[in-house]
């Protein structure tokens, strides 16, 4: 395209320079053709310099117009103008009565070149032919310039359409960006609210977990203390049982000796005294044995009570362990939900499609739980039974 423009510009400049610079052209008949860049046109003069005014009545005119298609390629005096070349040919005698009419240009600043030739000179045919060739070349240049102008106009229209399309697309993109930004703000707000609620719930569960852990620790300490007390009572019971056995053996030996003394029926103060001592020892031993039996029964009751308390403490510990596990599972579930929401926000901010969130509607949920305890007190160890109602 650049080479075509350069060629057209060169040809046009050559033709225009030839028309503008050659102000006087000699003809074969000795006359001259004067060219002037004015709206009046070009006149022909003879050798003596007189103007041939009579040629105006017996000439016919040929007018061609050349519009300025490429404004930047021409000089400043050809900018925004129309150039016209009028070729005046000889007329026949019968055509002399026709009134010649000069076709004036419709736009301002039009340059018209008029050539008046004398009809009696046959040598002017060469000049007319040369001018006709130049006119045909100018017409060809004009057609090329017109085609280029149409192409440039079409390209400009396409560029304008592209600019309009780009503006529409930019408007659509701006609206989509605003809509997505509003959705992002809404999602961020909702995520922040859910995160705060989950954080509050997590903190509450964490506080409850800490409290349950402290209670569990205290219960374990109490259970250890009671276990130690039970062990001490069991050792005391063992020693008391041993002592009771020894006393029973002594009492049996004293009773046997007393029976022997009574069977021998030997009189004497020593034997009577010994008999009285043995009876006294037997009575003391019986009293001690009775006291030890009472103590054993009391200690056994204490031991049973301690064992029951220990079992209850273990049951409470198991219950608290279960509550702690439930709280830990709940905290882990909330942390997983928080991480999932955080990942969704990162996907959304990155412009990607987030993975589907895990539905919690069909998951079972514990709505009520109660440990089952026996209605009547018993010393028998029972299994841990719990009734759970699940919402599905």
Over residues 52-69, mean pLDDT? 40
Q: Quick check: 76 pLDDT over 80?
A: no
**Pick among 1.10.3470, 1.10.287, 2.30.30, 1.20.120: CATH of 178-355:** 1.10.287
Q: Residue 43's pLDDT is what? A: 42
Which residues lie below 8 Å from residue 300, measured CB to CB, with a gap of 6+? 237
Strand 32-34 to 59-67 pairing: unpaired
Q: Quick check: 224 pLDDT over 50?
A: yes
Domain boundaries, the chain: 2-122, 178-355
Q: Residue 353's pLDDT is what? A: 60
Over residues 267-292, mean pLDDT? 76
Which residues lie below 8 Å from residue 6, measured CB to CB, with a gap of 6+? none
* Residue-wise pLDDT tens digits, 297-329: 887 888 888 788 878 877 888 887 888 888 788
Q: Residue 302's pLDDT is what? A: 80
Q: Quick check: 225 pLDDT over 60?
A: yes
Q: What is the DSSP string of 166-214?
A: HHHHHHHHHHHHHHHHHHHHHHHHHHHHHHHHHHHHHHHHHHHHHHHHH
Q: Quick check: 147 pLDDT over 50?
A: yes
> 42: buried, middle or exposed (CB in 10 Å: 19+, 13-18, 0-12)?
buried
Per-residue confidence at 372, pLDDT binned at 50, 70, 90? low
* pTM for this predicted structure: 0.33
Q: Residue 130's pLDDT is what? A: 83
Q: Residue 386's pLDDT is what? A: 53
Q: Quick check: 26 pLDDT over 60?
A: no
**Local structure of 102: helix, strand or coil:** coil
Residue 338 belongs to what H/E stretch? helix 269-350
């Amino acid at each position: 395209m650049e080479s075509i423009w350069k060629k057209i510009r060169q040809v046009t400049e050559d033709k225009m320079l030839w028309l503008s610079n050659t102000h006087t052209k000699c003809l074969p008949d000795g006359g001259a053709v004067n060219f002037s860049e004015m709206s009046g046109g070009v006149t022909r003069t003879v050798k003596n310099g007189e103007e041939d005014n009579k040629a105006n009545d017996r000439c016919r005119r040929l007018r061609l117009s050349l519009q300025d298609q490429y404004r930047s390629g021409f000089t400043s005096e050809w900018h925004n103008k129309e150039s016209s070349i009028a070729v005046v040919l000889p007329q026949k005698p019968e055509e002399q009565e026709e009134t010649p009419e000069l076709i004036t240009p419709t736009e301002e600043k039009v340059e018209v070149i008029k050539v008046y030739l004398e009809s009696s000179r046959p040598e002017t045919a060469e000049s007319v032919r040369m001018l006709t060739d130049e006119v045909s070349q100018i017409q060809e240049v004009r057609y090329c310039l017109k085609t280029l102008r149409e192409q440039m106009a079409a390209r400009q229209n396409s560029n304008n359409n592209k600019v309009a399309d780009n503006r529409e697309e930019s408007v659509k993109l701006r609206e989509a960006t605003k809509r997505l930004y509003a959705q992002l703000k809404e999602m961020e707000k909702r995520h922040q609210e859910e995160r705060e609620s989950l954080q509050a719930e997590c903190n509450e569960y964490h506080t409850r977990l800490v409290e349950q852990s402290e209670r569990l620790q205290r219960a374990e300490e109490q259970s250890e203390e009671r276990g130690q007390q039970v062990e001490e009572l069991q050792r005391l019971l063992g020693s008391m049982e041993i002592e009771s056995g020894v006393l029973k053996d002594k009492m049996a030996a004293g009773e046997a000796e007393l029976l022997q003394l009574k069977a021998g029926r030997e009189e004497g103060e020593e034997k009577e005294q010994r008999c009285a001592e043995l009876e006294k020892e037997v009575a003391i031993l019986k009293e001690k044995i009775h006291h030890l039996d009472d103590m054993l029964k009391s200690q056994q009751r204490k031991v049973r009570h301690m064992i029951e308390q220990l079992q209850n403490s273990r049951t409470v510990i198991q219950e608290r362990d279960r509550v702690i596990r439930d709280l830990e599972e709940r905290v882990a579930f909330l942390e997983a939900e928080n991480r999932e929401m955080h990942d969704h926000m990162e996907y959304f901010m990155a412009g990607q499609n987030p993975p589907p969130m895990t539905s919690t509607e069909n998951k079972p949920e514990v709505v009520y739980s109660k440990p089952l305890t026996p209605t009547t007190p018993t010393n028998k160890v029972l299994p841990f039974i719990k009734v759970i109602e699940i919402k599905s």
